[in-house]
Chain A
Amino acid sequence: SQQGEEDPQALSIQEGENATMNCSYKTSINNLQWYRQNSGRGLVHLILIRSNEREKHSGRLRVTLDTSKKSSSLLITASRAADTASYFCATRMDSSYKLIFGSGTRLLVRP
């Protein structure tokens, strides 16, 4: 079963605009990670935020985490056509080593 659910399921924006994706999860976590997947390829790790952190930045990426609401958001600023991909959040619970992935947001950046 999926732990996380991303919202929206699909997002279409113009190049240069910002893209925001949200993730909600069900149980307490140790950390939350975001991954990106290009069509037909494996997933690539983008950024990790620990349960005691509220915000983290990496280049054009900004991730927030609200453990009281069990939610996270991923912001991609100044989007590029090459950002077109599916984005997944993944959570790791304290009691497990496995990462549980959400259903993903499919992002289309129009040139």
Chain B
Amino acid sequence: DTGVSQNPRHKITKRGQNVTFRCDPISEHNRLYWYRQTLGQGPEFLTYFQNEAQLEKSRLLSDRFSAERPKGSFSTLEIQRTEQGDSAMYLCASSVTGEGSPLHFGNGTRLTVT
């Protein structure tokens, strides 16, 4: 079990630039989640994939955010025209199918928008 891998670990970008993060889930996990976490808060749900299908997306997610999981394996999260309010930790998690399946989290990508 190599765990959930996220890259990069840190990203500093200027306001207005586009950024893309990658998540490699645990290989046999068909569910993949993206969360955003700001300092002192709990993770906030962004979106969820079952295999390659994006089944849920937060209404808080603006059109500047897009996520893909093209082959049902790794996933990417892109933020276009970044704003300072996008600065946060972006967490990816994966799990197997099943209502009681726990989420396995990566260590996140910390985004700083200057």
Contact = CB atoms under 8 A, between A and B. Distances in A.
A41 B6 CA distance: 11
A50 B56 contact: no
B48 interface: yes
Q: How many A residues touch the partner, as a band? A: 20 to 34
A42 interface: yes
A77 B40 CA distance: 25
A98 B41 contact: no
B33 interface: yes
A58 interface: no
A43 interface: yes
Q: Pick from B42, B48, B91, B104 the residue with the most CB of A within 10 Å.
A: B42
A63 to B, nearest CB: 13
Contact of B107 (A33, A42, A50, A98): A42
Q: Pick from B50, B55, B91, B100 the residue with the most CB of A within 10 Å.
A: B100
Interface of B: 4, 31, 33, 35, 40-45, 48, 50, 55-56, 91, 93, 99-100, 102-108, 110
Given A48-B102, A104-B41, 14 more contacts: A2-B42, A2-B44, A35-B103, A41-B107, A41-B108, A42-B91, A42-B93, A42-B108, A43-B103, A44-B105, A48-B100, A101-B42, A102-B42, A104-B40
23 contacts: A2-B42, A2-B44, A31-B99, A35-B103, A40-B110, A41-B107, A42-B4, A42-B105, A42-B106, A42-B107, A43-B91, A43-B93, A43-B105, A45-B104, A88-B43, A98-B56, A99-B33, A99-B45, A100-B45, A101-B35, A101-B42, A102-B42, A104-B40
